[in-house]
Amino acid sequence: MSEGALLLGAHMSVAGGLHLAFHRAVLAGCQAMQIFTRNANRWEAKPLGDEEIAAFASSRSASGITCVLAHDSYLINLASPDPEKWQRSIDAFVLELERCSALSIPQLVMHPGAHMGQGEVAGIARLHEAFRLVLDRAPQDVEILIENTAGQGSYLGASFEQLAAILEDLPPDRFGICFDSCHAFAAGYDFRSEEQYAELISHIEASVGLERIRAFHLNDSLKDLGSGLDRHEHIGRGRIGGEGFASLMGDRRFDGVPKILETPKGQDGEMDRVNLELLRQLAARAR
Ligand code: MN
Ligand code: MN
Ligand code: ZN
């Protein structure tokens, strides 16, 4: 098995400049990485400069990291019932896609948003309408990956049936799923044994379809199965534990699909190295 087939990596800080993330990713031993292309907690974003784009491209080729994903801002809610927030979210999301396109980042991970009390059906309708407007305006070369969620509050996307309903009528070449292991577990999907893992994957196959899984977030969970709480823990040290990750890492159907850590970094990012090494061991053991 080649290292490339695993496409393992982590979310990396862009502090000091977007291009600096590549250096950090190499030090952590990543083959893939995820970044925010802007401050995720603010609406405003400084436009990308030509120099910034060029520095990103040259750091990328020097790093050897070919697989780069972006994650959108936490403020965006494309399912919002509030017309002003909804429009602001659409504008911000189009901007996210434009930034990805300018940086040649082919995939943007996003949260499907929260219905804020209007109910699931109305929330999904709102989201669909937003996506329609987004597709009219945004560049065509960036795939949108909807992340499954932990089921907190009125957030959409905690069940694969609902994600399937969201994906219905959305073009398969533009929309996929990013599977977050912590979120799935917190939402009540148990995959701690091989049998449970196999069941979960057949459930995903029957609902959204396995070909729709285009990225993974690999996080263990600090909180219990079905807690609805989104708290990430180091791989193997949370409530999921090593075995659940062993099944996933051993699943050849997901070779070549990027697998990204969003776990605590520790001193100088040392924990990324530890978590990635453990995932590699689990993969090797299962093959
Ligand atoms: Mn996320
Ligand atoms: Mn995630
Ligand atoms: Zn999370």
Its pTM stands at: 0.97
CA of 74, nearest ligand number: 1
CA–centroid distance, residue 73 to ligand 2 (Å): 12
CA–centroid distance, residue 223 to ligand 2 (Å): 15
Residue 169's pLDDT band, with cuts at 50, 70 and 90, is: confident
Beta-carbon contacts of 254 under 8 Å, excluding residues fewer than 6 positions away, are: 213, 216, 248
Residue 1's pLDDT band, with cuts at 50, 70 and 90, is: very low
Calculate the average pLDDT of the chain.
Answer: 96
CA distance 189 to 45: 36
Mean pLDDT of the 4-27 span: 95
Residue 2's pLDDT band, with cuts at 50, 70 and 90, is: low
Question: In the chain, what is the greatest distance between 2 CA atoms, to the nearest angstrom?
Answer: 52
CA–centroid distance, residue 182 to ligand 1 (Å): 11
Contact between 25 and 64 (Cβ < 8 Å): no
What CATH fold (topology level) applies to the domain 3-286? TIM Barrel (3.20.20)
Quick one: pLDDT at residue 17?
97
CA–centroid distance, residue 220 to ligand 3 (Å): 10
Contact between 228 and 185 (Cβ < 8 Å): no
- pLDDT tens digits, 187-243: 999 999 999 999 999 999 999 999 999 999 999 999 999 999 999 999 999 999 999
CA–centroid distance, residue 113 to ligand 1 (Å): 11
CA–centroid distance, residue 50 to ligand 3 (Å): 33
Mean pLDDT of the 164-176 span: 96
- pLDDT tens digits, 228-247: 999 999 999 999 999 999 99
Mean pLDDT of the 106-132 span: 97
Three-state secondary structure call for residue 134: helix
Half-sphere exposure of 120 (CA within 13 A, CB side): 11
**110 residue type, one letter:** M
CA of 218, nearest ligand number: 2
The residues placing their C-beta within 5 Å of ligand 3, an ion, are 230
The residues placing their C-beta within 5 Å of ligand 1, an ion, are 147
Beta-carbon contacts of 279 under 8 Å, excluding residues fewer than 6 positions away, are: 6, 8, 218, 235, 245, 249, 259, 261
CA–centroid distance, residue 70 to ligand 1 (Å): 10
CA distance 70 to 48: 15
- DSSP state string for 155-182: BS-SSHHHHHHHHTTS-TTTEEEEEEHH
Quick one: pLDDT at residue 144?
98
CA–centroid distance, residue 180 to ligand 2 (Å): 5
CA–centroid distance, residue 149 to ligand 2 (Å): 8
- pLDDT tens digits, 76-97: 999 999 999 999 999 999 999 9
